[in-house]
Structure 1
Amino acid sequence: MSKLIIRSLTELEARVGQELGVSPLHLITQEQINQFAAATLDFQWIHVDAARAQAESPFQTTIAHGYLTLALLPYLWQQIVVIENLKMQVNYEVETLRFNQAVAVNSSVHLRATLLSVTNLRGIAKARVGITMEVDGLKKPAYTGVVTFLYHFLG
């Protein structure tokens, strides 16, 4: 799968209203969940205690933190689009986000992204992107939302 390359504000603006692509699948492992728990100090048993999750959870296994799946957004976004000729990129806003489906350990997810709008703020591109994290094999997505990136293009 090849990444979409965007080299300028004009090229970015030309993509408004288009689906930009879908990232490759990413496997959510227990090790990744445990590392996220350690980084965020969120050790809730539904994430880190496999035996208890099998016995007590409706999912019968551990599940990824919702914020872990959201934290994968920059990585998965970069698997879809490469924005070149930048001074800087800033994660600006999560306008809306709805967690729709738990992501069980050993599930594979990918990101689907659509460019909703681009506003030129004196040479800085404010790009609103519709995002959907899909779980391989499931109809209901892990989450849907709109995020905004600021792109400071060179020149």
Structure 2
Amino acid sequence: MKKININKYKEDVMQKFAFDFKQWMSPAVRDYYSLFLKKTNYKRENILSWIREYSILENGESIKVAQAPVQVSSEARELFLCLQTQIGKEIHVGEWFTVTQDCVDQFSHVTGDHQWLHNDVKRAKVESPFKTTIAHGFLTLSLLPYLTGSVDASKPAYPNVKMTVNYGLNQVRFPYPVKTGSTIRAHSRLIKVSPIKRGLEIEKEISIEIQGTRRPGCVAVSVVRVYF
């Protein structure tokens, strides 16, 4: 008689149901559903991943299960332990920044994206549901380093590191358009820190607040690597 792993079967069925369920949702509801799942599962997943993946030793080694030890410096270990106390917390709120039509036009010039929704003020006033031009989603995304203060050399986020590298993005959404003339700012929440060779990998969820608007203009998970 063929044996069935009941737990594995139940897990597969639930994952399929969750996937199908999300497909029925409108994009707006899907964003809220994903945010709800993140918040409800955060504490459990954070604790389990910490137990499952890493163990910080007194000699400065960080061991990942089933892998060779990752050697970390005393500086990296100190920053790692400091950041662990901030997991799940908002660690930065940026300054307000106004997205002008000139800013949008310059981005259009650089990228070659001259859609009337972004550049034709007169047409947008008549035909656009927003009654004005809007910023490109990728323009909002490109402003993340500035909005999070990452480009301010006089105020480094991690003063003791030798090099900081933008490693990429895990997820990006644009829940609401940023209208031209809007004022925006970034909220950064630390979600994960992992030891890597010669440094740390840091993941932050960055949400772009639009002044006077309930929904954010962008939500992205940024991955940065710092080297000592």
User: Is 1:68 equivalent to 2:68 in the alignment?
Assistant: no
User: Is 1:142 equivalent to 2:201 in the alignment?
Assistant: no
Distance (whole Å) between structure 2 residues aligned to residue 31 and residue 88 of structure 1: 33
Q: Which has the larger radius of gyration?
A: 2
Higher helix residue share: 2
User: Is 1:11 equivalent to 2:86 in the alignment?
Assistant: no
- The residue correspondences of 1:22-37 to structure 2 (distance < 5 A) are 22-37=93-108
Q: Any stretches of 5+ residues in structure 1 without a counterpart?
A: 1-6
The answer (yes or no) to whether the contact 1:107–1:135 under 8 Å persists in 2 is yes
User: Is 1:96 equivalent to 2:171 in the alignment?
Assistant: yes
Deviation at 1:10, TM superposition (A): 4.1
Residue in 2 aligned with 1:108? 183
What's the RMSD between the two structures over aligned residues? 1.8
The answer (yes or no) to whether the contact 1:73–1:111 under 8 Å persists in 2 is yes
The DSSP-based 3-state class of the residue aligned with 2:157 is strand
AA of the residue aligned to 1:101:
Y
* TM-score for both structures, normalised by structure 2: 0.61
Deviation at 1:9, TM superposition (A): 4.2
Residue in 1 aligned with 2:198? 123
The answer (yes or no) to whether the contact 1:8–1:85 under 8 Å persists in 2 is no
Residue in 1 aligned with 2:126? 55
The answer (yes or no) to whether the contact 2:92–2:148 under 8 Å persists in 1 is no
* TM-score for both structures, normalised by structure 1: 0.88
Task: Mark the CA change 1:42 to 1:49 in structure 2 (over 3 Å): closer, same or farther.
Answer: same
Deviation at 1:138, TM superposition (A): 0.4
Higher strand residue share: 1
Deviation at 1:49, TM superposition (A): 0.7
Query: 1:98-118 deviations in whole A, cap 9, x for unaligned?
Result: 110000011000111111010
Residue in 2 aligned with 1:3? none
Distance (whole Å) between structure 2 residues aligned to residue 123 and residue 117 of structure 1: 17
Q: Runs of 4+ in structure 1 displaced over 6 angstroms? A: none
Q: Any stretches of 5+ residues in structure 2 without a counterpart?
A: 1-77
Distance (whole Å) between structure 2 residues aligned to residue 83 and residue 44 of structure 1: 39
Distance (whole Å) between structure 1 residues aligned to residue 90 and residue 164 of structure 2: 20
Query: 1:129-148 deviations in whole A, cap 9, x for unaligned?
Result: 01111100000111212111
| Number of residue-to-residue matches in the alignment | 147
Distance (whole Å) between structure 2 residues aligned to residue 56 and residue 36 of structure 1: 22
